[in-house]
Amino acid sequence: MRRDTPASVAIRARVGKREFSVFIAAAVERKLRRQMLDEYLADYESRKGPVSEQARLQARQVLDEILAEEGQRSTTS
């Protein structure tokens, strides 16, 4: 039995029923990326000291590029 929430209704209205799972998977992946990076940066800061906002943005960009390359490799394999 599926229970619709306001969020699920809004997602379906935006992306359609067929793309709902894809939308959710992409959102979860983005959240996990942010958590992984935040954990890494917290560990780095505990060992080396503060990380500038510019370095944080650059780290996020590098991580996004690496994960995008991994995604391209897995879809072509």
- For the cut 90, the answer to whether the pLDDT of residue 38 exceeds it is yes
Residue 12's contacts (CB-CB under 8 Å, 6 or more residues apart) are 20
Please indicate, yes or no, if residue 59 is contained in any of the structural domains: yes
Please indicate, yes or no, if residue 43 is contained in any of the structural domains: yes
Could you give the number of structural domains in the chain? 1
Please indicate, yes or no, if residue 1 is contained in any of the structural domains: no
**Is residue 64 a contact partner of residue 33, using CB atoms and an 8 Å limit?**
yes
Please indicate, yes or no, if residue 65 is contained in any of the structural domains: yes
pLDDT class of 46 with cuts at 50, 70, 90: very high
**Is residue 11 a contact partner of residue 20, using CB atoms and an 8 Å limit?**
yes
Please indicate, yes or no, if residue 12 is contained in any of the structural domains: yes
Q: Which domain holds residue 22?
A: 6-76
Please indicate, yes or no, if residue 58 is contained in any of the structural domains: yes
Residue 24's contacts (CB-CB under 8 Å, 6 or more residues apart) are 11
- For the cut 90, the answer to whether the pLDDT of residue 3 exceeds it is no
Angle formed at CA 60 by CA 59 and CA 62, multiple of 5 degrees:
65
